[in-house]
Amino acid sequence: MYGYYGYPMMYYGFDWTYILVLIGALLSIAASHNVQATFEKFARVQSFSGLTGAQAAQMILERNNITNVKIQGISGNLTDNYVPSRKILNLSQSTINSTSIAAIGVAAHECGHAIQDAKGYQPLVLTRTISPLCAIASKVSLPLIFFGIIISYTPLIKLGIIAFTIAISMQLLTLPVEFDASRRAVQTLADYGMVTDQELSGIKSVLTAAALTYVAAAASSVLQLLRLVLITRNRDNRRR
């Protein structure tokens, strides 16, 4: 009997590197639960100012002299995002008309991306530049690796791993962009006294929990990359 990678399964037994994938999955699940719980906790806390997410976003944009960004609603929960190419700030149903501090925090974070865009923040520009390349790399990486394994051609597997590395570089580059957007959000809210100090600490909790989901996703991809490298190296060693 031959296993997935063409090795006799009975001899090599369980492919232990799969543990790396499981660790990555557990990290992502934990981060996702954490952000949901933290958001729900602060979604129940109404802001002292009574501002909705949309109003807070409008004020933040104005205070940063940004007049060309349109705020609009988007379906779903926590689907908020900023689209630099169209200068659109999408706020989800749980954010746009809510006066909770969670909503204000999320809206402010998306404004942080609009501020990055307006100021030409380099990591954001870079993510936009490399995004098409990473999308292609992401599509071809696993097919290359599996096809390479099927025809037992190591250079093809290595090419697939390089493509995978390019694909996950996007996730790594997203990390400074996300942390910086939250930093700018908190800064504007504090500078203009839009929230109280206590509210600001709640907002920081929500934004940190959100940032951790990006950290978990990046860590999970790096663990997958490590697994692919280990599998390929074992394969090479066994052939010698």
Catalytic residue positions, numbered: 110
Using alpha carbons only, how large is the chain's radius of gyration in Å? 22
Neighbours of 213 (CB within 10 A): 20
Q: Identify which of residues 147 and 179 has a Cβ nearer to Zn ion in the complex.
A: 179
The site for Zn ion, by CB under 5 A, has a size of 2
Rounded to 5 degrees, φ, ψ at 16 are -60, -25
Cα–Cα dist 187/35, whole Å: 21
Residues 63-122 that bind Zn ion (CB under 5 A): none
Which of 174, 172, 154, 156 minimizes the C-alpha distance to 221? 172
73 Cβ contact partners less than 8 Å away, ≥ 6 residues apart? 90, 91, 92, 93, 96
Token match 């995978």: residue? 164
Q: Identify which of residues 181 and 189 has a Cβ nearer to Zn ion in the complex.
A: 181
Q: Identify which of residues 134 and 181 has a Cβ nearer to Zn ion in the complex.
A: 181
Q: Which stretch binds Zn ion (CB under 5 A): 22-30, 48-56, 176-184, 228-236?
A: 176-184
Is residue 101 within 8 Å of residue 203, measured between CB atoms?
A: yes
Q: How far is the CB of 69 from Zn ion (least distance, A)?
A: 15
Q: How far is the CB of 197 from Zn ion (least distance, A)?
A: 24
Q: Identify which of residues 117 and 178 has a Cβ nearer to Zn ion in the complex.
A: 178
Q: Which stretch binds Zn ion (CB under 5 A): 92-100, 118-126, 143-151, 179-187?
A: 179-187
Q: Which stretch binds Zn ion (CB under 5 A): 26-34, 63-71, 168-176, 178-186?
A: 178-186
Q: Which stretch binds Zn ion (CB under 5 A): 29-37, 50-58, 159-167, 175-183?
A: 175-183
151 Cβ contact partners less than 8 Å away, ≥ 6 residues apart? none
Q: How far is the CB of 215 from Zn ion (least distance, A)?
A: 13
Q: How far is the CB of 80 from Zn ion (least distance, A)?
A: 8
152 Cβ contact partners less than 8 Å away, ≥ 6 residues apart? 6
Site string for Zn ion, 180-209 (x = CB under 5 A): -x----------------------------
Q: What is the DSSP letter of 100?
A: B
Q: Enter the tokens of residue 15.
A: 């492919």
Q: How far is the CB of 198 from Zn ion (least distance, A)?
A: 24
Residue ranges in contact with Zn ion by CB under 5 A:
178, 181
